[in-house]
């Protein structure tokens, strides 16, 4: 059966501005891969990330480079040999899963033997800013059970104290996005411990995190930029306590599931996270997140408007995707 490949670019405005330590953005630019046969269409969405050397053009070119193989019926095992882990492979891998499920008139969850998927509690995100602004933003989420807060600048101890005080009943994840250094990490971790923070994500730049092996972890530390796929995990032992699995890093659902299994085997805790994208990007991650300690799939909530149909959010609860959306 022949397959038609369609590549699309979509831009989704963000509600306001989304800011981390590396900068701000006002829209989510995503690439959509559609695989069309006579009987079904499979879709996958990815978010090219400049931090990893990706752009809309480079991701589209990567997908285009395997057009002939996709038309001939490329499978997921071959895909992993043709494209590196990253956004382009994610879009294609998730489209292949979606196409297989729809062609077989079943679900990806059934194909994987996962059974019925359950609702999950996701974090909601507070952007980087000054302590007073961040405290006000956090207070609006004080009724939410899990809040992820972006830091990564001078005076982070003040930010940490302020946001924790603004939502005393919530679990707080502090995400520094590589914004700390050897000179301030001990003090910032102690500030997190004093504030009752649950988890600290990627405090130091990837590749510059050797100090984590030598200093105390008064709060568990999670790798994000330092880990992309399963083969990265062994070198993180002794540095990190948790790993953040994102499909745009792993190159799709296939590798994300492999990474999850290996992370558990090695004793890491697991967060399942996302870039800022629509529900189509979050849907496959919902399957990995069924066995996660922390879920951070609030990308659609950061947008001014999500695609329809999208995932259903009820407060902090997010429901599994409908087959119309994905899988």
The residues carrying an active-site annotation are 150, 246
Residue 69 has, within 13 A of its CA and on its CB side, a CA count of 17
Distance separating alpha carbons of residues 164 and 177, to the nearest angstrom? 19
Distance separating alpha carbons of residues 134 and 159, to the nearest angstrom? 7
What are the percentages of helix, strand and coil residues in the chain, rounded to 5?
Answer: 40, 25, 40
Phi first, then psi, for residue 245 (nearest 5°) are -95, 120
**Per-residue DSSP letters for 239-297?**
TBSEEEE-HHHHTSHHHHHHHHHHHHHHT-EEEE---S--HHHHHHHHHHGGG-SEE--
Q: How many residues does the chain have?
A: 327
Can you tell me whether residue 307 is helix, strand or coil? coil
CB 82 within 8 A of CB 66: yes
Q: Work out the burial of residue 76: count CB atoms within 10 Å of its CB; fewer than 13 is exposed, 13-18 middle, 19 or more buried.
A: middle
* Partner residues linked to 18 by β-bridges: 25
Residue 307 has, within 13 A of its CA and on its CB side, a CA count of 20
Distance separating alpha carbons of residues 30 and 2, to the nearest angstrom? 26
Taking residue 127's Cβ as centre, other Cβ atoms within 10 Å add up to: 17
Distance separating alpha carbons of residues 121 and 146, to the nearest angstrom? 8
Distance separating alpha carbons of residues 55 and 106, to the nearest angstrom? 34
């Amino acid at each position: 059966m022949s397959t038609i490949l369609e590549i699309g670019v979509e831009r989704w405005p963000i509600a306001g501005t989304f800011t981390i330590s590396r900068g701000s953005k006002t829209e989510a630019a995503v690439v959509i891969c559609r695989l069309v046969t006579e009987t079904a269409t499979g879709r996958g969405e990815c978010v090219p990330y400049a931090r990893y050397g990706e752009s809309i053009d480079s991701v589209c070119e990567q997908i285009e480079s395997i057009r002939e193989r996709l038309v001939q019926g490329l499978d997921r095992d071959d895909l992993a040999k043709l494209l590196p882990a990253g956004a382009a492979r994610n879009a294609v891998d998730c489209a292949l899963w979606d196409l297989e499920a729809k062609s077989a008139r079943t679900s990806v969850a059934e194909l994987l033997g996962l059974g019925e998927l359950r609702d999950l509690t996701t974090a909601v995100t507070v952007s980087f800013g000054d302590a007073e602004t961040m405290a006000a933003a956090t207070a609006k989420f004080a009724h939410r059970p899990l809040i992820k807060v972006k830091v990564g600048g001078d005076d982070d101890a003040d930010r940490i104290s302020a946001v924790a005080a603004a939502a005393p009943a919530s679990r707080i994840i502090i995400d520094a996005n590589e914004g700390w250094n050897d000179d301030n990490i001990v003090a910032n971790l102690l500030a997190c411990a004093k504030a009752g923070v649950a988890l600290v994500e990627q405090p130091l730049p990837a590749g510059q995190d050797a100090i984590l092996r030598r200093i105390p972890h008064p709060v568990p530390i999670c790798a994000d930029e330092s880990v992309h796929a399963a083969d990265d995990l062994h070198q993180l032992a002794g540095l990190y306590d948790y790993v953040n699995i994102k499909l745009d890093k792993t190159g799709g659902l296939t590798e994300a599931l492999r990474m999850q299994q290996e992370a558990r085997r090695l004793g890491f805790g697991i967060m399942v996270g996302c870039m800022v994208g629509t529900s189509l990007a979050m849907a496959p991650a919902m399957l990995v997140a069924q066995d996660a300690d922390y879920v951070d799939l609030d990308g659609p909530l950061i947008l001014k408007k999500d695609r329809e149909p999208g995932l259903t959010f009820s407060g902090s609860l997010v429901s599994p995707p409908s087959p119309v959306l994905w899988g």
